Amino acid sequence: MKVKRENFVLKEFLQYSYEDAPLPILDEQTISQPTTVMMMTDALEVKEGQKILEVGAGSGYQAAILAELAGEKGKVITTDIISEVCEFARENIRNAGIKNTEVICYDGSTGYEKEAPYDRIIVTAACPRIPQPLIEQLKLEGIIVAPVATMFGQEMLKVRKHETSLETKSLGYFVFVPLKGKYGLNR
C-alpha cells in the first residue's frame, strides 16, 4: 500500500509509526492501531469508484487508505468536529498528494447530507448506537462499520442496509475515543 503511517503521526511519535498501537494526535484524539484500521477497512469491502463518508478524520490516515482503495473515480469525505484535528488531517492528506478526499470540519455524527448518499460509511469513534442519519444517508446494500458502546465495552459492528432491514454482524470488541456531536457519547 502506498499510504505510509509515518506521514500521519505527530513528529514526536515517528519512531512508533509502525508499532501496532494507537498513538495520540491532537485534542485527546488518536490514530488507531494498524490492525484495527485494516480490519475496519476490510469489513467495509471498498470497491473502486465508491463514495465513502468517514466520521472522525483524526490524522487522515484511515481516509488516505480508503481514498487509495476507492481510486481516482471514488471520493472520500472525512469529517471531524474538532477544527484543530481537521486542519491536521487536511495538511497530512495534502502532503500525501491525495486528491480524491475532502476534509470537512463538521458534526459527522449527523452524516453529511450535502454529499449523500454514500456507498460506505466508517465511524472511527465510539457511538452509543449507529446514528440514524448515517443509516438514512447510506445507499441500499451499502455498509457501515462503527464501534458501538455497550455495557461490555465497544463492539465493532458491520451493518449492511437492505430495502426493509439492516443486517448486523459483530466484529469483536475494541477501545475507541468517544464520538463527539449530536449523536455521540459526548454531546
The domains of the chain are located at 18-174
Q: Which residue has the higher pLDDT, 22 or 72?
A: 72
Are 161 and 138 a contacting pair, CB within 8 Å? yes
Pairing between β-strand 30-31 and β-strand 23-24 as defined by DSSP bridges: antiparallel
For the domain with range 18-174, which CATH number is right: 3.40.250.10, 3.20.20.100, 3.30.470.20, 3.40.50.150?
A: 3.40.50.150
Percentage of the chain with pLDDT > 70? 98
Predicted TM-score (pTM) of this structure: 0.93
Q: What is the DSSP string of 4-58?
A: -GGGGS-GGGGGGTTSSS-EE-STT-EEPPHHHHHHHHHHHT--TT-EEEEE--T
Which pLDDT tens digit goes with each residue over 81-139?
999 999 999 999 999 999 999 999 999 999 999 999 999 999 999 999 999 999 999 99
Which pLDDT tens digit goes with each residue over 135-157?
999 999 999 999 999 777 799 99
Q: What pLDDT does residue 1 have?
A: 58
* Residue 43: pLDDT over 80: yes
Q: Model confidence at 9, in pLDDT bands (50, 70, 90)? A: confident
Q: To which H or E segment does residue 103 belong?
A: strand 101-105
Q: Model confidence at 186, in pLDDT bands (50, 70, 90)? A: low
Are 143 and 120 a contacting pair, CB within 8 Å? yes
SS3 category, 109: helix
Q: Is the peptide bond before 117 cis (omega within 30 degrees of 0)?
A: yes
SS3 category, 167: strand
Are 79 and 85 a contacting pair, CB within 8 Å? no
* Residue 187: pLDDT over 60: no
Task: Supply the residues annotated as catalytic.
Answer: 32
Q: What pLDDT does residue 32 have?
A: 82
